[in-house]
Amino acid sequence: MLRRIAPALLTVLVVALGVTALAARPPQGTPQRTADFVVLAGIAGLRWEDVDPQRTPTLWRMAQDGSIGSLSVRSAHRPTCPVDGWLTVGAGSFAAWNGSRAAGGCPAAAVTVEQPDGIGANLPDQESVVQYNQQRLPWGALPGSLSESVRCSVAVGPGAAVAAARPFGRVDRYASALPADPRPLLGSCVLSIVDLGTVGGADPATRAAEARAADAELARVLAARPPRSLVLVAGISDTTQPSRLHVAVADGPGWERGWLTSASTGRDGYLQLVDLAPTALAALGRPMPERLFLGRPAISTGDRPTDLAEAIAAPANADREAAAQRAVSGGFFALLAGVQVLLALALLPLLRRARPHAGPAGPTPVSGRIVAVVELLLVAAALTVPAALLADAVPWWRGEHPGWIFAGVTALLVAAGTAAVRFAPGYANTLGPVGAVAGLTTLVVGLDVLTGARLQLNGVVGYSALQGGRYAGLSTVGLGVFLAGALVTGGWLAQRVHRGWRPAVMVAVGGLAVVVVGSPYLGADPVGAIALTAGVSVAAVISAGGWLTISRLAWATMAALAVGIGFAVVDLRRPAGERGSLGRFLSALGDGTGGFAVHRSSTENFETFVNSPLTVLALAGGLLVWFALLQPWGGLMRLFGIYPAVRAALAGTVVAAVLGGVLDGAALDVMGAAAALVVPMAALASLRVLGHAADRTRPAPARSRANGAEDESGPGGVGPVDGGDGPTGGGGPLGAAHPAPIGDPPTGTPATVTRAGSDAPGEHGGDADDPPGPTASGSTPDGTPPVPVPPRQVSRSSTEVAAS
């Protein structure tokens, strides 16, 4: 009875853990009305390196009294040109100006602003811009949403006119430049948008002069600001390539000396360009438009250093680190993919010759030293990604040659990790390196997430604030290596216990991983948590052996759906402005705009698949597994047959990685990151299984099935004798550990013949290959002398020996 309801109980447990992790949310400050007027001043290209007490004294004093942050100026076009930045501000969503563009360039034509009545203005191109964003871009932005949410707005300068224009092109009040006395103009509407110019020169002297001029205009704005007003200063866009982080300052009641943050970033000190529109409306106490902004209202958080120079150093360093990360990241993953492909090619002849032959015929065995070196190289390859993550603890980006510094630090960490695995207890066991590498990877990524994911922010194997996709929690690469490490660690632990406890071990380890991935306090990746739930369920139901049947697959699918539905229900019960990505997507489906989200996801999947080096890692790993490791001579099928919990862990990893990548718009990136860890370890374990395929020792006394006896053929069965890879040599990648038992030895008596302990599970479900085969003194693990086996007996099949 318990065996029948076990899948249901495991499903309920995984679902409970997943929904609990996803439902809890960290407390967030609720934006309150803090001002009667909002003045949004934009300076295209302004970065924190342009701000100092001498060049920009006004902005320096404003930053001293207000809240500051790093602004990601992502828009629907890359790079974000000034006109794209202003349009994104007015839309509250990623938008772009239409027009012909050179590759990576900006429209050459200036914005046309007409003034037919001398009070307001008209943008004749606005209608075509709205149509372009609504029909041709995947974000569905509506330019003019900000101005439509207030009764009237003021625009000063052509850039401000782009942000303040309503969808039909009308600007309520417009001035091409600040008048001699700006007070009446800035006090005529609750929302004023001011274009303070551009800081776009490549030459430091030119940038300094442009920053000084913009600061002088800002001084006039602050002198004329209405009473009880909030002034937002933002570096609205890029002016050169590559993209950079820009200035964000808020000064007003309730914004004193803090860090700017929003729910869209979840990271103190970081803000997005799309957050400015909802911030202005929230400060004025105005409702958000019916079509929700992509951005969220900003708030001010404490714990900012008292010394402004020290506080400004943080966003300035973040800008330099993000710029260096972009330059190094692509090369790192391309090099990693190339090294792992070369290692896979070098591994093929070793797999062919790894299995010893007892007779005179057969290939010459590979030298033990060569095999040992290859094993260390496989361990090093699997540890490269977690080592690169740890390398970001060192400020390598501050050096003159950041790429070389990062490479050196990563190489040292890889060498240290490889040495730790090599000299760890149990390294000689078949699964010893697998468990050590998986556990070490899970520990590194998990500790980083538990401490705020600081190593992943702007890290080479993390995410960049310049990309504007993620600012907190697990990255795509982090998700891939963490779910693979957690599942393989669970499989390694489960293999060491009795088969009846293996599903419970998988659920315990996998459930904790689901909590880490999905909790908004930690990994903040609900889609990854749902995908991992499916992987954990698959791993749990086949960890004790057997086929991945339709019913077991159904249980796994139901668990993932239950977690997704449970979180969706919880998320939809929240206010619209506090919903997560899943709740927003379901809301969009309800109001008919869900097609934009589907289109974005499919576009992102395609672009990632084509452009990412991780795609090469995923495809190369898949080819190695399918055309080599899963072949009769590859050893992986034998490994799966002997260690069903490991087979279950790898199957769960594939399911979770594929689902997580596709649903998160990351294509094969999650699978590529998981493959960087799993494939080298699977190859190493396959090499060891093949190397011990012909070992023989006197078997330990068999235990009855009533007492939980289990050998490598399943409960109470006789294992393969000749180490063959045929029907009794191992199961398929998702199949049963072995076919039905051939026969049961008499209770309390030893089996007649069995294969060596080097590949068979131990009496208590652990690794029985420690030590493998006969010991150095010629005795077997139980102290008895080895049984000599004539060469002719090696070729006999398991069925023949069992029958004899």
Window from 637-646, 648-657, 795-804 with minimum mean pLDDT: 795-804
Mean pLDDT of 757-767: 40
| Amino acid letter, residue 700 | A
More confident residue, 766 or 386: 386
Tokens of 768: 């029985």
Window from 290-304, 310-324, 578-592 with minimum mean pLDDT: 578-592
pLDDT at 65 exceeding the cut of 80: yes
Give dist(CA 14, CA 511) in Å, integer: 6
Of the spans 186-195, 322-331, 631-640, 749-758, which averages the highest pLDDT? 186-195
**Predicted pLDDT of residue 29:** 52
pLDDT at 319 exceeding the cut of 90: no
Residue with tokens 């992790």: 21
**Predicted pLDDT of residue 79:** 85
Q: 776, 752, 630, 775: which is closest to 689 by C-alpha?
A: 630
pLDDT digits (tens, 9 = 90+) for 248-282: 999 999 898 899 999 888 889 999 999 999 999 99
190 burial class (0-12, 13-18, 19+ CB within 10 angstroms)? Answer: buried
Which helix (H) or strand (E) covers residue 131, if one does?
helix 126-135
Q: What b/e sequence results for 25-64 when a residue is b if at least 16 CB atoms lie within 10 Å of its CB, and e otherwise?
A: beeeeebeebbbbbbbbbbbbbbbbbbeeebbebbbebbb
Q: 105, 165, 155: which is closest to 133 by C-alpha?
A: 165
Window from 544-548, 655-659, 735-739 with minimum mean pLDDT: 735-739
pLDDT at 649 exceeding the cut of 70: yes
Q: 481, 459, 485: which is closest to 470 by C-alpha?
A: 459
Give dist(CA 643, CA 598) in Å, integer: 40
Phi-psi region of 272 (alpha: psi -120 to 50; beta: other; left: phi over 0): beta
Please, what sign has the CA dihedral across residues 312, 315, 318, 319?
Answer: negative
pLDDT at 780 exceeding the cut of 80: no
Give backbone dihedrals phi and psi of 749, rounded to 5 degrees, phi first. Answer: -115, 150
Give dist(CA 663, CA 566) in Å, integer: 17
CA contacts within 13 A on the Cβ side of 77: 28
What single DSSP character describes residue 125? T
**Predicted pLDDT of residue 379:** 95
Tokens of 519: 């909790």
Tokens of 218: 């800002």
Helix spans in 625-643 (H) = 636-642
pLDDT digits (tens, 9 = 90+) for 450-468: 998 999 998 899 888 888 7
Tokens of 336: 């990693």
Cα dihedral: 490, 496, 497, 499 (round 10): 80
Strand ranges in 413-534 using DSSP code E only, listed in sequence order: none
| Alpha carbon distances (Å) from 587 to 282, 293, 534, 566, 600 | 21, 13, 24, 15, 16
In percent, the amount of the chain with pLDDT more than 70 equals 73
pLDDT at 75 exceeding the cut of 60: yes
pLDDT at 754 exceeding the cut of 50: no
pLDDT at 145 exceeding the cut of 70: yes
pLDDT at 709 exceeding the cut of 70: no
Tokens of 463: 């995410």
Written as one string, the DSSP assignment of 68-99 is EEEEE---SSSS--HHHHHHHHHHTS-----S
Of the spans 370-374, 725-729, 765-769, which averages the highest pLDDT? 370-374
Mean pLDDT of 302-328: 86
Residue with tokens 């190397």: 691
Tokens of 555: 């249980």
Q: How confident is the model at residue 668 (pLDDT cuts 50, 70, 90)?
A: confident
Give backbone dihedrals phi and psi of 282, rounded to 5 degrees, phi first. Answer: -65, -40
**Predicted pLDDT of residue 250:** 96
pLDDT digits (tens, 9 = 90+) for 400-437: 888 899 999 999 999 999 999 999 998 999 899 999 99
Q: Which residues contact 369 (CB under 8 A, 6 or more apart)?
A: none
The whole-model pTM stands at 0.80
Angle at CA 13, nearest 5°, toward 7 and 16?
Answer: 140
Written as one string, the DSSP assignment of 698-718 is PPPPP--GGGT--BTTBTT--
